[in-house]
Amino acid sequence: MTYIAGLVVREQGVPATVEELRLPEVGPGQVRVRIRAAGVCHSDLSMINGTLRPPHPLVLGHEAAGEVVEVGAHVTRAAVGDHVVLNWQPPCRNCWFCANGQPWLCSTSSGVAALENGMTLDGEPVHVCLGLGAFAEQVVAPENAVIVVPKELDWEMAALLGCSVLTGSGAVRNTAQVRPGESVLVIGLGGVGLSVVAAARAAGAGQVIAVDVTEAKKGLAEAAGATDFVVSSDALSKDVRVRTEGRGADHAIECVGRASTIRAAWRATRRGGQVTVVGMGAADDMVQLGALDIFSSARTLRASVYGQADPDIEVPALARDVLEGRLSLDHLITDRIELADVPAAFDRMARGEGARSVVHL
C-alpha cells in the first residue's frame, strides 16, 4: 500500500486541504507516476466554485508531469523512469470518434469530471479530478493517460503542455486555423489565454488584441506577443473595430467560458469571421444571439475541446518546439508554489491576478 499526500476537497464550498491518502494498487494496463510539477488550471477552480459539480471527497489537479515509478502488467507505452505528461482525456482509440479522427471527443473519456480512485485514511473512496487528481505526490492512471516526453524538458514546462498549452495552441492551429496576417482577438488572459496569444503570434497573426478585466495583465499579454491590449468594457466591439479598419477581428478566441464574453467575442468579430470558444462555462449560462444576426453576420461559432488535438502526437511535438526554442513558456509561469499554497493560488486566479501557478512536488 502506498501512502501519499494530496490536496483534497471534502465538500462543495469547503477549502481544500492537504491530506494523507491511500493510493490504489497498480493494475494491468496502469502506471504509477510520481508527480514533479502540476499547474493550477481554471478547470480546477471550476470544480470547487460551483461551475461544475463533481463528487467528493475530491483530489484536484490535472495539468501535470512526472516520472513513472511502477508499471502494471501489459503496459507498453511507458517504462519505469520515463518522464511523462498526463493527459486528462485519454482517447480509447476504439470508439466512433477515435476511429473517425476526433480523439478529443472520445466517447469513453469525455465529460467525466471525476473518477473514483484511491481512499482516504479512514477507508472512504476518493474521486480524482478528470481521472487524474494530480495535486498529489503520486497518481495511478491508465497507461493511455501518459505521454512520454524527453528527459531534458523542464518539469514545469512539461506540466503546462498537458492542459493550457495544448488547449491554447490547438485552438489557434487546429480549430481557428489562424493564417498569416489575420487579426485575432483573445478574451481572458489566464494560462490558456496567454497560450492562445503566443500561438496566434507564432501562426503569423498580424494583430493579436488581448483583452482582460484589469490593466495588470498588460505586461503578461505583451510578453506573450500581443500587439494590442484592451481592458474589457461595454465598448469592446467598438474598440476592436477601431483597431481593425472598422471591420472587427478575423478571429475571436474566448478563453473565459461565460455567456457575456462569448457574446462580446461574437460582436467584436467581423462579418464572416470566426468565434472559437475555449472557456468551459456553466450549463445554465445561456448565450443569446439574434436569428437575423446569425444569418447576416455570417460568422462561425465553434468550440475547441482540449485544443481539438491528438495529444499523443501534439504533446511530443510541442515538447520539441520548447526544447528547440520555437516555443517559449517562461512568460506563462508567475508563481511557483507548494501543495498547501494551491487554495491561495485559486484566490489569485479568481481575482484575475498572475498567469500560471505551478506546484512543485
Report the interface residues with Zn ion, using CB under 5 A.
Answer: 41, 43, 63, 91-92, 95, 98, 106, 163
Distances (CA, A) of 192 to 142, 170, 189, 220, 329: 26, 10, 7, 12, 11
Angle 236-243/259-267 helices, nearest 10 degrees? Answer: 30
Q: How far is the CB of 98 from Zn ion (least distance, A)?
A: 3
Specify the residue, 107 or 328, whose C-beta has the smaller distance to Zn ion: 107
Tell me phi and psi for residue 136, to 5 degrees.
-155, 160
| CA distance linking residue 312 with residue 78, whole number of Å | 13
Specify the residue, 189 or 236, whose C-beta has the smaller distance to Zn ion: 189
Tell me phi and psi for residue 87, to 5 degrees.
-115, 115
224, 205 contact by CB (below 8 A): no
Specify the residue, 92 or 119, whose C-beta has the smaller distance to Zn ion: 92
| CB-CB neighbours of 204 under 10 Å | 11
Specify the residue, 33 or 98, whose C-beta has the smaller distance to Zn ion: 98
| CA distance linking residue 356 with residue 86, whole number of Å | 17
Report the greatest alpha carbon distance in the chain: 64
| CA distance linking residue 3 with residue 113, whole number of Å | 24
Q: How far is the CB of 247 from Zn ion (least distance, A)?
A: 33
Here the cell at position 20 is 494523507
Specify the residue, 75 or 86, whose C-beta has the smaller distance to Zn ion: 86
Q: How far is the CB of 278 from Zn ion (least distance, A)?
A: 11
| CB-CB neighbours of 186 under 10 Å | 35
- Residue 208: CB partners within 8 Å, gap ≥ 6? 183, 184, 186, 197, 200, 201, 225, 226, 227, 228
| CA distance linking residue 306 with residue 279, whole number of Å | 10
What is the helix (H) or strand (E) element at residue 205, kind and residue range? Answer: none
Closest by Cα among 188, 194, 307 to 255: 188
Q: How far is the CB of 26 from Zn ion (least distance, A)?
A: 23
Specify the residue, 63 or 182, whose C-beta has the smaller distance to Zn ion: 63
